[in-house]
Amino acid sequence: MFRLAQPIYLYLLLLIPILIAVFVVYRRAQKRRLRRFGDLEVITQLMPEASAKRVRNKFILLMVAVSFIIAALAQPQFGAKLREVKREGVEIMLVVDVSNSMLAEDFPPSRLDRTKNAIGRLIEQLGKDRIGMVVFAGNAYVQLPITSDYISAKTFIGGLSTKMVPVQGTSIAQAIDLAARSFSDQSHRSRAMIIITDGESHDDDPIAAAQRASDAGIVLYTVGIGTPEGAPIIIDGKMIEDEQGNKVISKLDEQTLQQIAVLSGGTYIRATNQNVGLNEILRRISEMEKQQFSSMVFEEFNDQFYYLAAIALLVLLAELLMIDRKNRILSRISVFK
């Protein structure tokens, strides 16, 4: 496994384009000063040993060396030894609605954006629990298998979009069934499912799916995001209309979500503009029975920065040995004469 022990130093790479811009401005200023003394071609003939190409190549070598030095400061490392780690926690499957109705703006900037922000804050509060994610619209897909890698989880959360699922609709039942099958074999007694949706289910039976999940020992928590009054769906700045030309209003279906939660002993929470409700659900999950999980992690990491430092040193040495003027002796040598 590869990692950077000090990735913050990579911000220093922003200096490279700044230095290049300074060099270009400096060289142009030099040429302007030379033009004051006459024609540049004549002046060049009067200075046969001057070499603009060598000056440019020296600068390029310097920038390459600086880049390698910055990369070395970031301290790249490779995992050298795996170790089994055991933790006690709960497996949590997030089931997130990414249908077009989640673009409604009754929760500005949109229901989906508020969901992404809330899940990101939820992950930051996790300690020893494991997390996975299923996304759904007309179909359901596993977006993130069960993992304890919270960094990867936040990356996946940031990529949530209504374009992830090509088939539109809101198939809550299919999403519940898929999420129920996605728990690991290690979590027999400690399984929680958090469903975040506006509740508008179409063409399936989410209550029956919730019963199947409950029979498998899964506690379902539901979050209704939206308002009973509803809001129009806006895609790419355009309001969605039905076949009769009426604007489509997406409304929160609380009854279905309440029934899903009650079946498994979970809780239904209606999100508000101030609080989506995931903190309360996480508090309830923390009271569940904990299961011991085992996973393999890298225990030791070998530093690799000295390879980059050595390359930087060689490049700097080459830059120092390269003089910025033409060598009279070498210029007389012609291999092809």
**Among positive and negative, which fits the CA dihedral 176, 181, 184, 190?**
positive
Q: Other C-beta atoms within 10 Å of 110: how many?
A: 19
Domain region containing 45: 2-79+301-331
Residue 145 sits in the same domain as residue 242: yes
In a domain, 294, yes or no: no
Residue 308 sits in the same domain as residue 222: no
N residues, the chain = 337
In a domain, 84, yes or no: no
Q: Give 19-68 pLDDT, tens digit per residue.
A: 999 999 988 887 777 777 666 666 666 555 666 677 888 899 999 999 99
Helix axes 52-73, 15-35, angle to 10 degrees: 160
pTM of the model: 0.64
In a domain, 61, yes or no: yes
163 vs 98: CA distance, rounded Å: 8
Residue 143 sits in the same domain as residue 265: yes
Residue 323 sits in the same domain as residue 263: no
Please check the confidence at residue 335 and state whether its pLDDT lies above 60. Answer: no
Q: Give 308-322 pLDDT, tens digit per residue.
A: 999 999 999 988 887
Say what the pLDDT of residue 203 is: 63
90 vs 17: CA distance, rounded Å: 47
In a domain, 318, yes or no: yes
In a domain, 336, yes or no: no
Residue 95 sits in the same domain as residue 47: no
Domain count, the chain: 2
Residue 280 sits in the same domain as residue 313: no
In a domain, 139, yes or no: yes
Lowest mean pLDDT among 28-32, 145-149, 301-305: 301-305
Give the pLDDT band (50/70/90) at residue 326: low
Residue 281: how many CA atoms within 13 Å on its side-chain side?
32
Amino acid letter for position 83: R
Residue 135 sits in the same domain as residue 241: yes
| Cβ pair 211, 226 in contact under 8 A | no
Residue 68 sits in the same domain as residue 112: no
Q: What's 131's domain CATH number?
A: 3.40.50.410
Residue 238 sits in the same domain as residue 133: yes
pLDDT > 90: percent of the chain:
45
Higher-scoring residue by pLDDT: 237, 47: 237
| Cβ pair 219, 86 in contact under 8 A | no
